[in-house]
A = this chain, B = another copy of it.
């Protein structure tokens, strides 16, 4: 029996255990890196707005006036997070707030003319951001990846 065999036995004795946990191969770690790369690409093309801020404007463009909480649900942000995002958009005059006349708890959010102009102007850039993010994949791979990613989200 050779030394190599002994080493193999030792490794096998450990079983599929702690020894072979590689951080770089875990979904969570790679998912975090992929997300970082996307945010970086976004910042390179749209410097004056963050992805969450863009998401809020884009969704308001789709659905029109909604409550802050509903908007948060639609763009996957909890109440505390969406408040900060909307506050900053309001400070820049891109959205306007008003109280719901019937349900006084609700804070209605809507695009201002400036906000609408901004989102229309940015959407072509957002398309480029999507393209650049997916650039390492072929068209076929993009389709596959998006299908599987959607299952995980």
Interface, chain A (partner B; CB < 8 A): 18, 21-23, 25-39, 42, 51, 55, 58-59, 62, 75-76, 120, 123-124, 126-127, 129-130, 133-134, 136-137, 141, 144-146, 148-153
Contacts and interface: CB of A to CB of B under 8 A. Distances in A.
Contacts of A149: 27, 30-31, 34, 145, 149
A152 B30 CA distance: 9
A130 B18 contact: no
B76 A27 contact: no
A123 B153 contact: no
B55 A18 contact: no
Given A23-B59, A23-B62, A27-B130, A152 B123 contact: no
